[in-house]
Chain A
Amino acid sequence: MEANIHGLYEKFKAGKLIVSHEGSISSKDIDDFLNKTEDSLSAAGEAPKKIRKIYNIVVEAIQNLFHHQGTPPPDFLKNMKLAASDGYCFCTMVKEGSDSYKITTGNFVTYAVAKSLRERIEQLNSLSHDELKNLYKIVLDNDEFTEKGGGGLGFIEMARKSGNKFGYDFVTYDNKYKFFVLEVLVS
Protein backbone atom coordinates (compact mmCIF):
# COMPACT_ATOMS: atom_id res chain seq x y z
CA MET A 1 0.00 0.00 0.00
CA GLU A 2 2.84 2.41 0.75
CA ALA A 3 3.74 2.51 -2.92
CA ASN A 4 0.27 3.87 -3.66
CA ILE A 5 0.73 6.73 -1.20
CA HIS A 6 4.08 7.70 -2.65
CA GLY A 7 2.52 7.27 -6.08
CA LEU A 8 -0.15 9.78 -5.09
CA TYR A 9 2.56 12.25 -4.14
CA GLU A 10 4.25 11.80 -7.50
CA LYS A 11 0.90 12.28 -9.24
CA PHE A 12 0.28 15.58 -7.45
CA LYS A 13 3.77 16.79 -8.32
CA ALA A 14 3.13 16.35 -12.03
CA GLY A 15 2.84 19.44 -14.18
CA LYS A 16 4.31 22.87 -13.45
CA LEU A 17 5.60 22.12 -9.98
CA ILE A 18 6.32 25.15 -7.77
CA VAL A 19 7.22 23.49 -4.46
CA SER A 20 6.75 20.13 -2.76
CA HIS A 21 7.53 18.23 0.43
CA GLU A 22 7.15 14.59 1.44
CA GLY A 23 7.81 12.92 4.78
CA SER A 24 7.70 14.23 8.33
CA ILE A 25 7.47 17.99 8.54
CA SER A 26 9.35 20.18 11.00
CA SER A 27 9.19 23.88 11.75
CA LYS A 28 12.27 24.37 9.54
CA ASP A 29 10.59 22.42 6.71
CA ILE A 30 7.66 24.83 6.97
CA ASP A 31 10.02 27.81 6.76
CA ASP A 32 11.73 26.37 3.69
CA PHE A 33 8.39 25.59 2.01
CA LEU A 34 7.01 29.06 2.66
CA ASN A 35 10.21 30.78 1.51
CA LYS A 36 10.20 28.76 -1.71
CA THR A 37 6.52 29.57 -2.24
CA GLU A 38 7.06 33.29 -1.84
CA ASP A 39 10.27 33.42 -3.88
CA SER A 40 8.82 31.36 -6.75
CA LEU A 41 5.63 33.40 -7.00
CA SER A 42 7.58 36.67 -6.91
CA ALA A 43 9.99 35.43 -9.56
CA ALA A 44 7.00 34.45 -11.72
CA GLY A 45 5.81 38.05 -11.56
CA GLU A 46 2.58 37.31 -9.73
CA ALA A 47 0.80 40.35 -8.23
CA PRO A 48 1.40 40.97 -4.51
CA LYS A 49 -2.32 40.52 -3.86
CA LYS A 50 -2.28 37.03 -5.39
CA ILE A 51 0.95 36.08 -3.64
CA ARG A 52 -0.59 37.06 -0.30
CA LYS A 53 -3.70 34.99 -0.96
CA ILE A 54 -1.71 31.90 -1.93
CA TYR A 55 0.79 32.35 0.91
CA ASN A 56 -2.03 32.57 3.46
CA ILE A 57 -3.53 29.33 2.16
CA VAL A 58 -0.17 27.56 2.15
CA VAL A 59 0.48 28.66 5.75
CA GLU A 60 -2.80 27.13 6.89
CA ALA A 61 -2.43 23.96 4.81
CA ILE A 62 1.12 23.20 5.83
CA GLN A 63 0.62 24.05 9.49
CA ASN A 64 -2.40 21.72 9.51
CA LEU A 65 -0.04 19.00 8.27
CA PHE A 66 2.49 19.88 10.98
CA HIS A 67 -0.14 19.40 13.65
CA HIS A 68 -1.82 16.37 12.07
CA GLN A 69 1.05 14.41 10.45
CA GLY A 70 0.39 12.03 13.32
CA THR A 71 1.64 8.50 13.57
CA PRO A 72 1.27 6.72 10.25
CA PRO A 73 0.50 2.98 10.12
CA PRO A 74 3.48 0.98 11.49
CA ASP A 75 3.80 -1.17 8.35
CA PHE A 76 3.90 1.97 6.21
CA LEU A 77 6.75 3.41 8.28
CA LYS A 78 8.62 0.11 8.11
CA ASN A 79 8.21 -0.31 4.39
CA MET A 80 9.15 3.30 3.69
CA LYS A 81 12.18 2.83 5.97
CA LEU A 82 11.06 5.61 8.27
CA ALA A 83 11.62 5.71 12.04
CA ALA A 84 8.81 4.48 14.27
CA SER A 85 8.38 7.98 15.65
CA ASP A 86 8.29 9.72 12.27
CA GLY A 87 5.23 11.47 10.96
CA TYR A 88 4.32 11.34 7.28
CA CYS A 89 2.53 13.78 5.03
CA PHE A 90 3.00 15.54 1.72
CA CYS A 91 2.28 18.96 0.27
CA THR A 92 2.58 20.10 -3.33
CA MET A 93 1.83 23.28 -5.23
CA VAL A 94 1.51 23.29 -9.02
CA LYS A 95 0.49 25.95 -11.49
CA GLU A 96 -2.63 25.12 -13.48
CA GLY A 97 -3.36 26.90 -16.69
CA SER A 98 -2.23 30.48 -17.00
CA ASP A 99 -3.30 31.88 -13.67
CA SER A 100 -4.37 29.21 -11.16
CA TYR A 101 -2.44 27.37 -8.49
CA LYS A 102 -3.42 24.11 -6.83
CA ILE A 103 -2.20 23.23 -3.34
CA THR A 104 -2.56 19.55 -2.41
CA THR A 105 -1.92 18.01 0.98
CA GLY A 106 -2.00 14.41 2.15
CA ASN A 107 -1.89 12.79 5.58
CA PHE A 108 -3.09 9.65 7.36
CA VAL A 109 -6.27 9.79 9.42
CA THR A 110 -8.36 7.27 11.32
CA TYR A 111 -11.78 6.30 10.01
CA ALA A 112 -13.46 8.41 12.71
CA VAL A 113 -11.44 11.49 11.80
CA ALA A 114 -12.12 10.86 8.10
CA LYS A 115 -15.86 10.86 8.73
CA SER A 116 -15.68 14.10 10.69
CA LEU A 117 -13.46 15.77 8.07
CA ARG A 118 -15.74 14.73 5.23
CA GLU A 119 -18.74 16.26 6.98
CA ARG A 120 -16.82 19.46 7.67
CA ILE A 121 -15.55 19.84 4.12
CA GLU A 122 -18.96 19.14 2.62
CA GLN A 123 -20.47 21.73 4.94
CA LEU A 124 -17.88 24.35 3.98
CA ASN A 125 -18.26 23.56 0.29
CA SER A 126 -21.99 24.27 0.58
CA LEU A 127 -21.53 27.77 2.03
CA SER A 128 -21.53 31.07 0.18
CA HIS A 129 -18.83 33.72 0.61
CA ASP A 130 -20.97 35.61 3.14
CA GLU A 131 -21.89 32.43 5.03
CA LEU A 132 -18.19 31.54 5.31
CA LYS A 133 -17.46 35.02 6.63
CA ASN A 134 -20.18 34.70 9.27
CA LEU A 135 -19.01 31.22 10.27
CA TYR A 136 -15.44 32.52 10.58
CA LYS A 137 -16.56 35.24 13.00
CA ILE A 138 -18.60 32.78 15.07
CA VAL A 139 -15.70 30.34 15.42
CA LEU A 140 -13.20 33.18 15.99
CA ASP A 141 -15.21 34.46 18.93
CA ASN A 142 -16.06 31.10 20.54
CA ASP A 143 -13.20 31.12 23.10
CA GLU A 144 -12.19 27.60 22.10
CA PHE A 145 -8.85 26.20 21.03
CA THR A 146 -8.53 22.74 19.52
CA GLU A 147 -6.34 20.10 21.16
CA LYS A 148 -3.46 20.96 18.82
CA GLY A 149 -3.63 24.63 19.87
CA GLY A 150 -5.37 25.75 16.73
CA GLY A 151 -8.57 27.71 16.60
CA GLY A 152 -10.67 25.52 14.32
CA LEU A 153 -10.45 28.25 11.71
CA GLY A 154 -7.91 26.87 9.25
CA PHE A 155 -10.35 25.19 6.84
CA ILE A 156 -12.72 28.15 6.95
CA GLU A 157 -9.88 30.53 6.17
CA MET A 158 -8.65 28.42 3.26
CA ALA A 159 -12.18 28.26 1.85
CA ARG A 160 -12.59 32.04 2.16
CA LYS A 161 -9.23 32.87 0.63
CA SER A 162 -9.45 30.42 -2.27
CA GLY A 163 -13.02 31.27 -3.29
CA ASN A 164 -13.32 27.74 -4.68
CA LYS A 165 -14.73 24.51 -3.32
CA PHE A 166 -12.27 22.07 -1.77
CA GLY A 167 -11.38 18.95 -3.69
CA TYR A 168 -10.87 15.94 -1.43
CA ASP A 169 -10.50 12.17 -1.26
CA PHE A 170 -10.16 9.58 1.47
CA VAL A 171 -8.06 6.75 0.09
CA THR A 172 -8.53 3.52 2.03
CA TYR A 173 -5.17 2.29 3.31
CA ASP A 174 -6.23 -0.56 5.59
CA ASN A 175 -9.03 -1.31 8.06
CA LYS A 176 -7.79 1.35 10.49
CA TYR A 177 -6.45 4.18 8.33
CA LYS A 178 -7.45 6.29 5.40
CA PHE A 179 -5.21 8.71 3.56
CA PHE A 180 -6.78 12.16 3.40
CA VAL A 181 -6.04 14.24 0.31
CA LEU A 182 -7.11 17.88 0.22
CA GLU A 183 -6.95 20.12 -2.86
CA VAL A 184 -7.25 23.90 -2.68
CA LEU A 185 -7.45 25.85 -5.92
CA VAL A 186 -6.57 29.53 -6.12
CA SER A 187 -7.51 31.24 -9.36
Chain B
Amino acid sequence: MDSINIEGTPKTPTISFDANTGVIEIKGRSIPENSIEFYKPLVDWLDKFADVAQGTVSVNIQLEYFNTSSSKCILDVFKKLENLQNKNRAEVVINWYYEEDDEDMLEAGEDYQSILKIPFNMVEIAE
Protein backbone atom coordinates (compact mmCIF):
# COMPACT_ATOMS: atom_id res chain seq x y z
CA MET B 1 0.00 0.00 0.00
CA ASP B 2 1.35 3.46 -0.90
CA SER B 3 2.30 5.88 1.82
CA ILE B 4 1.15 9.52 1.92
CA ASN B 5 3.63 12.36 2.15
CA ILE B 6 2.39 15.94 1.96
CA GLU B 7 4.65 18.93 2.47
CA GLY B 8 3.46 21.47 5.01
CA THR B 9 2.32 24.98 4.11
CA PRO B 10 1.69 28.02 6.33
CA LYS B 11 -1.85 26.75 6.85
CA THR B 12 -1.66 22.96 6.48
CA PRO B 13 0.51 20.45 8.32
CA THR B 14 3.25 18.14 7.06
CA ILE B 15 1.77 14.69 6.63
CA SER B 16 3.67 11.42 6.66
CA PHE B 17 1.55 8.26 6.75
CA ASP B 18 3.88 5.27 6.22
CA ALA B 19 2.08 1.99 5.53
CA ASN B 20 5.31 -0.04 5.90
CA THR B 21 6.58 1.26 9.25
CA GLY B 22 3.16 2.07 10.68
CA VAL B 23 4.32 5.58 11.63
CA ILE B 24 1.63 8.25 11.19
CA GLU B 25 2.71 11.87 11.59
CA ILE B 26 0.89 15.20 11.50
CA LYS B 27 3.15 18.18 12.22
CA GLY B 28 2.97 21.96 11.88
CA ARG B 29 -0.08 24.20 11.61
CA SER B 30 -3.55 23.06 10.65
CA ILE B 31 -5.63 26.17 9.96
CA PRO B 32 -7.06 25.77 6.45
CA GLU B 33 -10.40 27.41 5.71
CA ASN B 34 -11.68 24.09 4.43
CA SER B 35 -10.32 21.33 6.64
CA ILE B 36 -12.66 18.65 5.28
CA GLU B 37 -11.05 18.98 1.85
CA PHE B 38 -7.56 18.55 3.31
CA TYR B 39 -8.29 15.67 5.68
CA LYS B 40 -10.64 13.55 3.55
CA PRO B 41 -7.85 11.78 1.61
CA LEU B 42 -6.08 11.05 4.89
CA VAL B 43 -9.20 9.55 6.45
CA ASP B 44 -9.81 7.50 3.28
CA TRP B 45 -6.21 6.23 3.43
CA LEU B 46 -6.68 5.13 7.02
CA ASP B 47 -9.78 3.15 6.00
CA LYS B 48 -7.63 1.15 3.56
CA PHE B 49 -4.74 0.94 6.03
CA ALA B 50 -7.05 -0.74 8.55
CA ASP B 51 -7.12 -3.81 6.28
CA VAL B 52 -3.33 -4.23 6.15
CA ALA B 53 -1.96 -2.75 9.38
CA GLN B 54 0.10 -5.02 11.60
CA GLY B 55 2.21 -4.69 14.72
CA THR B 56 2.35 -1.23 16.23
CA VAL B 57 0.97 1.96 14.74
CA SER B 58 2.72 4.99 16.24
CA VAL B 59 0.91 8.27 15.77
CA ASN B 60 2.92 11.46 16.30
CA ILE B 61 0.89 14.66 16.51
CA GLN B 62 2.94 17.84 16.86
CA LEU B 63 0.82 20.87 16.07
CA GLU B 64 1.58 24.51 16.79
CA TYR B 65 -1.97 25.63 15.96
CA PHE B 66 -5.12 23.97 14.74
CA ASN B 67 -8.47 25.61 14.04
CA THR B 68 -11.74 24.18 15.26
CA SER B 69 -12.61 22.95 11.79
CA SER B 70 -9.40 20.86 11.87
CA SER B 71 -10.18 19.62 15.38
CA LYS B 72 -13.18 17.67 14.09
CA CYS B 73 -11.17 16.26 11.22
CA ILE B 74 -8.35 15.25 13.55
CA LEU B 75 -10.93 13.44 15.69
CA ASP B 76 -12.06 11.60 12.55
CA VAL B 77 -8.45 10.49 12.00
CA PHE B 78 -8.27 9.26 15.59
CA LYS B 79 -11.58 7.42 15.29
CA LYS B 80 -10.31 5.56 12.23
CA LEU B 81 -7.29 4.52 14.28
CA GLU B 82 -9.58 3.45 17.12
CA ASN B 83 -11.50 1.23 14.67
CA LEU B 84 -8.23 -0.25 13.48
CA GLN B 85 -7.31 -1.06 17.07
CA ASN B 86 -10.76 -2.50 17.75
CA LYS B 87 -10.41 -4.86 14.81
CA ASN B 88 -7.26 -6.18 16.56
CA ARG B 89 -5.31 -5.30 13.46
CA ALA B 90 -2.57 -3.48 15.32
CA GLU B 91 -1.64 -1.81 18.55
CA VAL B 92 -2.10 1.96 18.32
CA VAL B 93 -0.45 4.59 20.47
CA ILE B 94 -0.79 8.37 20.06
CA ASN B 95 2.12 10.62 21.02
CA TRP B 96 0.70 14.12 21.56
CA TYR B 97 3.50 16.70 21.59
CA TYR B 98 3.15 20.10 23.24
CA GLU B 99 5.59 22.91 24.01
CA GLU B 100 6.58 23.31 27.63
CA ASP B 101 4.36 26.28 28.52
CA ASP B 102 1.52 25.47 26.11
CA GLU B 103 -1.15 24.35 28.55
CA ASP B 104 -3.84 24.84 25.91
CA MET B 105 -2.23 22.28 23.59
CA LEU B 106 -1.80 19.85 26.50
CA GLU B 107 -5.47 20.36 27.37
CA ALA B 108 -6.47 19.74 23.73
CA GLY B 109 -4.65 16.40 23.85
CA GLU B 110 -6.40 15.55 27.10
CA ASP B 111 -9.76 16.43 25.51
CA TYR B 112 -9.11 13.88 22.76
CA GLN B 113 -7.80 11.36 25.27
CA SER B 114 -11.04 11.56 27.24
CA ILE B 115 -13.14 10.84 24.12
CA LEU B 116 -11.07 7.97 22.69
CA LYS B 117 -10.06 4.53 23.80
CA ILE B 118 -6.52 4.70 22.45
CA PRO B 119 -3.47 5.15 24.71
CA PHE B 120 -2.13 8.71 24.64
CA ASN B 121 1.35 9.81 25.65
CA MET B 122 1.62 13.53 26.41
CA VAL B 123 5.12 14.52 25.38
CA GLU B 124 6.47 17.88 26.52
CA ILE B 125 9.07 19.48 24.28
CA ALA B 126 11.38 22.39 25.01
CA GLU B 127 10.29 25.60 23.29
A interface list, Cβ under 8 A from B: 27, 30-31, 34, 48-49, 52-53, 55-56, 59-60, 63, 66-67, 133, 136-137, 140-141, 145, 149-151, 153-154, 156-157, 161
Chain A hits for B127, CB < 8 A:
48
Closest partner residue, chain B, to A27 (CB atom): B33
Number of A-B contacts (CB under 8 A): 63
Chain A hits for B34, CB < 8 A:
149
CB distance from A67 to the nearest CB of B (A): 8
CB distance from A148 to the nearest CB of B (A): 9
Are B101's CB and A48's CB within 8 A? yes
Is B20 in the interface zone, CB < 8 Å from A? Answer: no
- A27 and B33 alpha carbons, distance in the complex (Å): 7
Contact flag A133-B111 (CB < 8 Å), given A27-B33, A141-B75, A149-B36: yes
CB distance from A28 to the nearest CB of B (A): 11
CB distance from B111 to the nearest CB of A (A): 6
Chain B hits for A133, CB < 8 A:
107, 111
Chain B hits for A34, CB < 8 A:
31
